[in-house]
Homo-oligomer: A and B are copies of this chain.
Amino acid sequence: MKAYQELSREELLALKQELEKEFEEVKGKGLQLDMSRGKPAKAQLDLSNGMMDVLNSSSDMVCEAGVDCRNYGVLDGIPEARKLLADMSEVPEKNILIYGNSSLSIMFDTVARSMTQGVMGSTPWSKLDKVKFLCPVPGYDRHFAVTEYFGIEMINVPMLPTGPDMDIVEKLVAEDEAIKGIWCVPKYQNPTGISFSDETVRRFAHLKPAAKDFRIFWDNAYSIHHLYDDDQDVILELLTECEKAGNPDMVYKFISTSKVSFPGSGIAALAASEANLAEAKKYMFYQTIGHDKLNQLRHVRFFKDINGMREHMKKHAQILRPKFETVISVLENELGGLGIGSWSKPKGGYFISFDAMEGCAKAIVAKAKEAGLIMTGAGATFPYGKDPKDSNIRIAPSFPTPEELAVAAQIFVLSVKLISVEKLLEK
């Protein structure tokens, strides 16, 4: 198959006609498909149904601290849940603080706290003229939404195959005191699927920020979310690296079981230095009398320990793996060699990242929608929803059934082809 760029105008016009016919046929089917969000499928939710049975009306509901989990008390999480999430976060128990059902809330509250209270004695960010965050792109839209909501200026940093471009990160944080943070998804990154290299993690640990209240917001959302048993990414543990580098307070690590147990009914934690946790716990003390300890207990009784959790994740992988492979195989078969797109082949996480020809992403997403396929909005993977190249599209293959997915992938590649031909004809 020839690359589209090598086709003559006549060939492109003929191809366009053919693709349009194909497209009208698919459109006529009136399909409704969704590859927009990293949402677990029903079969994945069923894996955790047993969690509904581990606590019943005759269960002992006293935790290891001797406290009745049905009552008030134990602000920082029951000991057994702290142990489980510490293991999941690869930190000692003293470095873990359990929150409610969502790691996004912890990140939000951490930014909110910095706005009104400052960070370890620094000026509250709301009192500063300008606060900036570095945003590796493409990245997670909900991160960018939080910083935008608080009026924080966002600066794009390119993602490389090894992680964020550390030359740029090092330079910017060293010279600009207004830069207070950087958003990172270090493992199976959303959306590229890449994992940060050891060198990247070490360079993060050795950052020399101008701002004393600079923090790395390390959202380890996919820490145990592998697709393969025998080919898994491993990243260096950043808190340890920061300690070794003499920067123990520079990182906040976020984690949750949203895509392990149930989205919205999981448990979440902050992992950080004891000094950072003391500050977070103070805020928590005023914010709540305590989080849902029964749900913490439910998680511990169901998973038992980190090994139980890892075994459980293999079952998720069995469901997710064929979906990723279906999409990637359609992309390879249909777009391979055409020169109109490239895509990631992640070994974990929830997304495939697709880069179309420049200026085509919005049009492709709109085209797919015409045929009943909802994709993540083009631009969503960039701060302010603005992809400077209008090129990146996030593909989320988890929610549809395998059958739906095969059809969805076909609609997607057809949309890519059609828009690319139109783009080439514009020249």
Contacts and interface: CB of A to CB of B under 8 A. Distances in A.
Contacts of A68: 42, 45
Interface in A183-222: none
A45 B289 CA distance: 17
A265 B57 contact: no
A53 interface: yes
B52 A59 contact: yes
A345 interface: no
A105 interface: yes
Contacts of A294: 262, 264-265
B55 A52 contact: yes
A142 B289 contact: yes
**A145, A293, A294 interface centre (most CB from chain B within 10 Å):** A294
B53 A56 contact: yes
A402 interface: no
Given A71-B45, A116-B150, A288 B104 contact: yes
Interface string A42-80: 100100111011011111000000001111110000000
A150 to B, nearest CB: 6
Contacts of A70: 45, 48, 262-265
A146 to B, nearest CB: 6
A70 B124 CA distance: 38
Nearest to A100: B100
Interface of A: 37, 39-40, 42, 45, 48-50, 52-53, 55-59, 68-73, 100-102, 104-105, 108-109, 112, 115-117, 124, 126-127, 142, 145-146, 149-150, 258, 262-265, 286-295
10 contacts: A70-B263, A100-B100, A100-B101, A101-B288, A108-B286, A115-B115, A115-B116, A126-B126, A265-B294, A292-B292
